[in-house]
Amino acid sequence: MASTRGTITSIEDLRQLAQRRVPRMFYDYVDCGAWTESTYRANSEDLARIRLRQRVGIDISQRNLSTRMVGEAVTMPVALAPTGLAGMQWADGEILAARAAERFGVPFALSTVSVCSIEDVAAHTSRPFWFQLYMMKDRAFMQRLIARARDANCSALVLTLDLQVQGQRHKDIKNGLSTPPKPTLRNLANLATKPRWCLNMLGTKRRTFRNIVGHVEGVEDVSSLAHWVAGQFDQTLSWEDVRWVRRLWDRKLILKGILDPEDARIAATTGADAIVVSNHGGRQLDGAASSISMLPAVAEAAGEQVEVLFDGGIRSGQDVLRALALGAKGVLIGRAFLYGLGAMGEAGVTACLDIIRKELDVTMALCGITDVAEARRALLEARAPAQPEPRLARHA
C-alpha cells in the first residue's frame, strides 16, 4: 500500500492513501454510487474493455498534449470536475485543487455545494475557473450565484441537468453524512483515527457550504441549510430553463449530464457551447448505461454544434485517450483528483495530474501518435469491439 509520494505511481495508490487518511463518511461520499453501484462500476469496467492499437515504426520523438477545451488553452485535455464537499477531503480542498489545476494549466470547476465559496477560490487563484450550477427553485438565488460567478471572473458556467432528484446512496445514509460531521460516538471514534485530517480542519474556518450559508435568508446553520437544500432541487427543470440561464450568462455555457443522443440534439439548440456526456459518476440512476458506452452516439448526435466533453470512470491517461478516440474533445476527472486531494492535499492533486499526463503521453507514443488532437477511432483495436455496446449496468 502506498504510504509516501515516492511510491505513488497510479491513481489507485492515491485512492488507498485517501482511504486511510479521510474520515469514513467523506471518503465514502466520494467512493460510492447509487443503490447497488452497478453503473458506478460499469463506468470504469467498460473503459477498461476498450483495446488500444499498438503501432511501431513511427517517429514519436516529438509529442504534444496541449490543446483547447471550450476555447481555453490547456496543457492536456483534462479538467477537474465540479465535486461537492471537496473541502471535507482536505481542509480548504477546493482552493488547493484550484491552485494545483492553475499551476498545471488545466481548468478547475467549482461546485455549487462546495465548502469553499466562489469568492474564496477567486481570492487564491489568478486563472479564471469554471462554476457549476444546479437548477434551484429559488431563481433569485440562482441569479445572485450567476452574478457572483461573473464578478469572480469565472470563464464558464457548468449547468448540471441530472440532479432534479437525488439518487439514493446507501453509504451516505448509513454514515449520516453532514458537514461538519455530527458529534456522534461513531463519528468521534472514526475521527480519532484521522489526526492529520482533524488538525488541518482546526486550522480553517471553511467547514460548511459557503456558497449558500450567509447568502440565503434564514440559512445560518447546518440544520437550516439541510432543510433548504432538500427542498431546492427543481423537478420542473425544462429546456426553457436552460435557455433562461443562457440569456443570463454571456460567457461559455456547458451542460453536464447528457447521456442520450436525443438530449444531445436538443442541447445543441439551446445556445450552449459544450456538453458533458455523464451519468453523474453512477451516483444518480443506477442501471443507466455507462458514460463511455453512450459517448459515440451522443457525440454523433451533437455533431459540430457543441463541443463534446466526457466524464465517468477516468482513472488513467489511457482512459483519457480512449474517450478522445470515441469522440470527446476533453475529459473531466472527479474521483481521481479527490483521491489525490484526500491523500496529500494540493500535492496529491498535482500527483494525480502528473500521473495522468505521463500515462497519456506514453500511451500516445505506443499507439503511434504525436499530437493529442490526432486521437481518432482508428487508435482502437478493430478486432475487439471499438466500444462497449450501450447496456444496462449489471446489478450486483
Catalytic center residues: 280
354 annotated ligand binder: no
Single-letter amino acid, residue 59: D
134 labeled binding residue: yes
263 annotated to bind ligand? no
280 among the known binding-site residues?
yes
The sign of the dihedral angle between the CA atoms of 71, 75, 81, 83 is negative
Q: 255 with 82: CB under 8 angstroms?
A: no
What are the residues whose beta carbons fall under 8 Å from the beta carbon of 315, sequence distance 6 or more?
11, 12, 44, 47, 335, 336
Helix axis angle for 291-302 and 317-325, nearest 10°, is 40
Q: Does 196 show up as a binding residue in the annotation?
A: no
- Is 311 marked within a binding site? yes
Q: What is the DSSP letter of 329?
A: S
CA distance 352 to 182: 31
315 is known to lie in a ligand binding site? yes
Query: Is-contact 199 90, C-beta < 8 A?
Result: no
Tell me if 186 is assigned to a ligand binding site.
Answer: no
Is position 357 annotated in a ligand binding site? no
Cis peptide bond prior to 181, omega within 30° of 0: no
Q: Is 204 annotated as a binding residue?
A: no
| 51 known member of a binding site | no
Annotated ligand binding at 29? The verdict is yes
Would you say 160 is a known binding-site residue? yes
Ligand-binding annotation for 334, yes or no, is yes
Is 281 labeled as ligand-binding?
no
Cα(322)–Cα(376) distance, rounded to whole angstroms? 9
Q: Which residues contact 361 (CB under 8 A, 6 or more apart)?
A: 63, 65, 317
In angstroms, rounded to a whole number, what is the distance separating the alpha carbons of residues 58 and 82? 38
H helix or E strand, kind and range, residue 203: none
> Residue 310 CB: number of other CB atoms within 10 A?
29
111 known ligand binder = yes
Q: How far is CA 105 from the centre of its chain?
A: 17
Q: What is the DSSP letter of 207?
A: -
- According to the annotation, is 247 in a ligand binding site? no
314 carries a ligand binding annotation = yes
CA distances from 30 to 25, 88, 169, 187 (A): 9, 10, 11, 17
Which parts are annotated binding residues for FMN? 82-84, 111, 160, 256, 278, 311-315, 334-335
Q: Give the residue numbers of the binding site.
A: 29, 82-84, 111, 132, 134, 160, 169, 256, 278, 280, 283, 311-315, 334-335
